[in-house]
């Protein structure tokens, strides 16, 4: 969601953002990963990404191959309120972490 406020604190723009993207879940043996990170993997033939451990994505652990950071960024976001000052510059007014929740279903 995007919220902008003018210099008086009045709500200017209130929009919803839809981030929809589908990928394919596959079951793979991953001897390159620690125990518990093999099994279900996300692959995305559209963007040529993966296989990415679903366990690593759910935990937000970016240190594993392949492309875990890209998958996390697709499903996890914060809501930011912006305030416009008299010079029409925008500044962060409020940050609401994890407002757009991590939602992965296996």
Number of Cα atoms under 13 Å in the Cβ half of residue 104: 23
Range of the domain at 38: 2-100
Does residue 36 fall inside a structural domain?
A: yes
Q: Which residue has the tokens 């499903």?
A: 75
* Residues 49-98: tens digit of each pLDDT: 789 998 988 888 888 888 887 777 777 667 777 777 777 676 666 666 65
Q: What pLDDT does residue 100 have?
A: 56
Q: What residues contact 43, with CB distance under 8 A and at least 6 apart? A: 23, 24, 25, 26, 49, 50, 51, 52
Q: Is residue 34 part of a domain?
A: yes
Examine the pLDDT at 103 and tell me if it is beyond 60. Answer: no
pTM value is: 0.56
In a domain, 106, yes or no: no
Residue with tokens 């652990």, as numbered in its chain: 61
Q: Is residue 82 situated within a structural domain?
A: yes
Residue 105 within a domain: no
Residue 52 lies in a domain: yes
Domain total of the chain = 1
Is residue 37 situated within a structural domain?
yes
- Domain-embedded: residue 96: yes
Locate the DSSP E strands across 16-71.
24-28, 39-44, 49-53
- Decide: 37 and 55 in contact? Cβ < 8 Å: yes
Length of the chain: 106
pLDDT in tens, 19-37: 566 788 999 999 999 999 9
């Amino acid at each position: 969601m995007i919220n902008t406020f003018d210099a008086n604190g009045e709500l200017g723009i209130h929009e919803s953002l839809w981030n929809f993207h589908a990928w394919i879940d596959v079951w793979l043996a991953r001897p390159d990963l620690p125990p518990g990170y093999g099994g279900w993997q996300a692959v995305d033939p559209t963007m040529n990404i993966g296989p990415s451990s679903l366990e690593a994505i759910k935990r937000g652990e970016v240190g594993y191959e392949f492309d875990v950071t890209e998958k996390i960024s697709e499903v996890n976001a914060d809501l930011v309120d912006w305030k416009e000052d008299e010079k029409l510059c925008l500044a962060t007014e409020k940050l609401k972490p994890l407002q757009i929740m991590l939602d992965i279903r296996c």
